[in-house]
Structure 1
Amino acid sequence: MVALELRHLRYLIAVAERGNFTRAAEDLHISQPTLSQQIRQLERAVGVQLLDRTGRTVQLTDAGAVYTEHARRALRDLDAAERAVHDVQDLSRGHLRLGVTPTFTAYLIGPLVAELHTRFPGIGLTLTETTQDRIEAALLADDLDLGVAFAGAHPAGITATPLFTETLSLVVGGSRTPEPPKALSVQALQAQQLALLSGDFATRGHIDAYFAEHRIEPRITVEANTIQALTEIVQRTSVATVLPDAITHDHPHLVPVPLDPPLPARTVTLLDRRGAYRSAAARAFTRLTHDIVRVRGYTPAPAARGYMDVEARRP
């Protein structure tokens, strides 16, 4: 009987993902005949056909689908075990894989990474900016340790810890005055040219829902897929945008104008996979995140206040 090895599992997963032996072999840097031989060894070892090779693409059989699901889980757990063995509790070294949705790179990630580097210079960071659904999928696949996104419906297996409440306002270019601007009626937005984030941003969906609720048809003259593009446009034109208030704190030439009624606040959360191994680096980053929320004066989310009170009482 052929002894199973980890490579057999990885080979099966590669073929399942590609649906083709040739492309899978290229990804694995082995020959196609070698890959076919290895898969047949695996099928003989488990005593069942795992792949249907009769169609134009290679498909998993019912048994193959079940086996592949368990193979993915086994490899994920082995990877986590390897990280746990090499985890250094004194934080003299380590690595963190963090995913964030795009708006947070404009105001939150800079202070977080700066503080992480100051406190723990030996910890490396892999930062991925992507959509919330991809962050959640990467957490479930053990490709990320933590994510920063928003509260709401999450896939099974994702845990969301509230961090703070994010508010949004209309943003125009100009200089700050001692007196904050008066609130602008939502109906007045129909006469205002707007530059907004593109439709693949969660923030844009939040803004569109607000417009729809109040039956507003906005004059959207610019759509952009970066925060920086919006801030540059607003500072140099009469076009306005809608952004989180926290972004304007670091931009003296951006003026937040409250809307009446205001846009609904959102709860920012720290995401992880339920039951996943939490490295010393991940635990330290979690504590650091709550510290930054407090120091920068963000409004704590209700469930986060209890955490911060407990941390404040720690010796």
Structure 2
Amino acid sequence: MRLRHIEIFHAIMRTGSLSKAAELLCVSQPAVSKALAHAERSLGFALFNRVHGRLQPTREAELLFSESQKLHANLDGIRHLARNLALQPEGHLRIGCLPSLGLSLIPPAVQAFRRDFPRVSLKIQTRHTEELLNALLTRDLDLAIALNPPARPGITAVELGRTAIVCVCPPDDPDARQPIDLAAFLARDWISIGSTDPLGELIGNALEAQGLDESVAAVEAQTWYVARALAARGIGYALLDELTARSGAEPVAIRPVTPALSAGVFALWRDGGMDSQAGNAFLDVLRAPFA
């Protein structure tokens, strides 16, 4: 007997008629009658006798029904679990992000996600962009968050939103909150974040486009939050994404940059790898601040 045959047989045994079994299963009576006939042909014996228009279970049907009760209970358990997973996903998500996003975007996202999905455990790792891409391909991560990541075969990249590039200044900067152009920025002592990662490359391209790429930084700090900490101490000015600029504990002044620059915040996963309810729910939480 096929599983569908067992389901229909069980419904007939419970209700005592084809019409009521069809109503219970939300199908037509002819469909139930056809499935029952097919089941009986497959078995080689009758499950019901037709007596005065009513179905009378055979001895074989009584024996099968006793065993099918156990299977039906298991099926009910599976349906119940499926409903619960739709409403309250369970499982484990391994999430990687840039170190700066681990201090800015990720904590509130985790807080919101855990409030709605407390039964999903999370593992958070901070890595640089190339390490994140490699970890996705080797299945060490389920999901990664990065700024302007390079295209990589086998990786799906979806932009969640954009973050402005801003000038991070010492907290006592006299022109705090006033826009600053790139030439004025370079006229100060400035802190570079290098050009080996996507954000550094974006800034380097902007300086080159204005013919300002010959200027030498006072300090090069290839870690973004180190650059922020140096700016907070008055060592110089730094160009950073706004998420990083606003995430540190030490006070800084943050000034808009002209012309405006921005970086995309991307969610990354292995092609075909984002197939869980929990993973898609976490993506929704990450999108919320950019909505």
TM-score normalised by L of structure 2? 0.62
- C-alpha distance in 1, partners of 2:85/2:172? 48
Partner of 1:210: 206
Task: Name which of 190, 198, 216 aligns with 1:194.
Answer: 190
Equivalent residues of 1:194, 1:222 under 8 A apart: yes
Cα displacement (A) at 1:260: 2.7
Count of residue correspondences: 207
**In the alignment, residue 255 of structure 2 is paired with which amino acid?**
V
Alpha-carbon shift at residue 97 of structure 1 (Å): 1.0
- RMSD (Å), alpha carbons: 2.9
Q: Shift of residue 158 of structure 1?
A: 1.8
1:73-92 equivalence runs, <5 A: 88-91=85-88
Instruction: Find the aligned partners of 1:176 and 1:237 in 2 and give their Cα distance.
Output: 9
Q: 1:168-223 CA distances to partner (integer Å, 9 max, x unpaired)? A: 0111022699x973322322233211123244432212212222221213341222
Return the alpha-carbon distance in structure 1 between the equivalents of residues 146 and 189 of structure 2: 28
Secondary structure in 1 aligned to 2:264? strand
1:1-315 equivalence runs, <5 A: 88-91=85-88, 93-151=90-148, 153-174=150-171, 181-216=177-212, 217-250=214-247, 253-263=251-261, 265-276=262-273, 278-294=275-291
| SS class of match (2:281) | helix
Residues 151 and 160 in structure 1, CA contact (< 8 A), matched pair in contact too: no
Structure 1: runs of 5 or more not aligned? 1-84, 295-315
CA distance in 2, matches of 1:198, 1:151: 15
The residue type equivalent to 2:257 in the other structure is: L
Q: Which amino acid aligns with 1:171?
A: V
State the partner residue of 1:3: none
Structure 2: give runs of 5+ residues left out of the alignment: 1-81
Q: CA deviation at 1:160?
A: 1.6
The 3 A distance-change label for structure 1 pair 175 and 237 is closer
1:164, distance to aligned residue in structure 2 (A): 0.5
Query: What SS class does the counterpart of residue 218 from structure 2 fall into?
Result: strand
Q: Contact 1:95/1:123 (CA < 8 Å) preserved in 2? A: yes
Is the 2:179–2:258 contact (alpha carbons within 8 Å) kept by the matching residues of 1?
A: yes
